[in-house]
Amino acid sequence: MEPPREQSPEQQRHSRDSDAPRQSRRNAPGAGPRRTGAVHPGGSTPASGGAEHRRALRSRWRGATLASGWPFPGDWYCTAIDRVCDAALHGEGLEEEVGRLAAQRAESGIGLDETLRDLTVLHAVLSGGNTGSALVGGECEEVPPALLRRAALAWADVVAGRSVEREVTDALTGLTTRSYLRMRLYEVYRETGAARAGGETETGRDSYELLVTSLRLPHEDVRWSRLMGVVLAADVLREVFDRGETVSLLRESTPVVLTRNDPRIVERRRRAESAINARMRADPELRRAMDESGRAVSIRELRLPAEYSGACELLDSLS
């Protein structure tokens, strides 16, 4: 056997050049079976997501959702979409991000049916399953119950919050709500502002004030007694302030009265205090909850700020 002959520099360079095409073919896109950052069946994904993989997943998700019957393509995207995609690509739990997505759907006016159907499509895309005609029916059997529950609760929380904000009266006491009081204050400030501009004799903010009712029940374990005290106080306030005043419930135990500042306001305030305390002393449960002074209620007068924004800040501080 002949010993290997030493190659010249020119032969070595030629040998390297001939190996380069083979190496480039091994590294060429699509040459091998491996796909970096692909979404695998069962929802498992590699942690090397990135913007490109996020866009790919988002595109597949959007296309499948539109194919399943999403009515308004322009309304599909929201910021929570990207957070869900990132969590899926990094193999993280989806519950928190799905909750954010459902909340944004509700805030945009998208119904629960569309929200859950979109979640069904996402699960099918992540699982590598069929995203075609089977999804048109909006079937959710394959989606983990924890995701469905999180999405439904987050969506319902937003809708319930909006419903409460639109309510005009409190169901327990019959008093108007804080949202209504803010609207009424806006009207008052418009009224007094117009009076000042027209040179009328009213003194603007000084012509109205806020009467704040405070329940002085000392113990934290008397919530039921406190609620009953608020109901009694609400009845008395409606009886005493029955000349067009706005009687509202600012929070659970704080009824307030928006009233004109007339000369009889002090007498009417004291009459309301006396009547509320008398009714509470007549009730055995409420009487036990009262402090040593025997007076469970006090009403104080607050002058309204000069501007409507200041009045809103005052309500926030009282709440």
Instruction: Check whether 56 has a pLDDT greater than 50.
Output: yes
51 or 14, higher pLDDT = 51
Most confidently modeled range among 88-92, 251-255, 282-286, 295-299:
88-92
Angle, vertex CA 186, rays to CA 184 and CA 187, nearest 5 = 65
Segment 111-115 shows an average pLDDT of 91
Partners of 297 in beta bridges: 215
Q: Which pLDDT score, from 0 to 100, does residue 288 have?
A: 72
Instruction: Check whether 210 has a pLDDT greater than 90.
Output: yes
Going by the DSSP 8-state scheme, the letter that residue 169 receives in this structure is B
Whole-model pTM? 0.49
Q: Which pLDDT score, from 0 to 100, does residue 199 have?
A: 54
Q: Which pLDDT score, from 0 to 100, does residue 23 have?
A: 42
Q: E-assigned strands of the chain?
A: 208-215, 246-251, 254-260, 297-303
Long-range contacts of 266-272 (CB under 8 A, 24+ apart): 268/240, 268/241, 269/211, 269/299, 269/301, 271/240, 272/236, 272/237, 272/240, 272/241, 272/299
Structure token digits, residue 141: 């059997």
Place of tokens 């998208």: 110
The separation between CA 26 and the C-alpha centre of its own chain, rounded to angstroms, equals 52
Instruction: Check whether 150 has a pLDDT greater than 60.
Output: yes
Structure token digits, residue 198: 């027209």
Of 47-51, 83-87, 153-157, 176-180, minimum mean pLDDT range: 47-51
The 10s digit of each residue's pLDDT in 258-290 is 998 888 899 999 999 999 988 888 887 777 767
Instruction: Check whether 130 has a pLDDT greater than 90.
Output: no
CB 256 within 8 A of CB 208: no
Q: Which pLDDT score, from 0 to 100, does residue 60 have?
A: 93
Q: Which pLDDT score, from 0 to 100, does residue 220 have?
A: 52
Q: Could you give all domains of the chain from N- to C-terminal order, each with its CATH number?
A: 41-165 (no CATH), 178-318 (3.30.70.270)
Q: Tell me how far apart the alpha carbons of residues 97 and 81 are, in angstroms, rounded to a whole number.
A: 8
Of 95-99, 128-132, 134-138, 174-178, minimum mean pLDDT range: 134-138
Instruction: Check whether 299 has a pLDDT greater than 80.
Output: yes
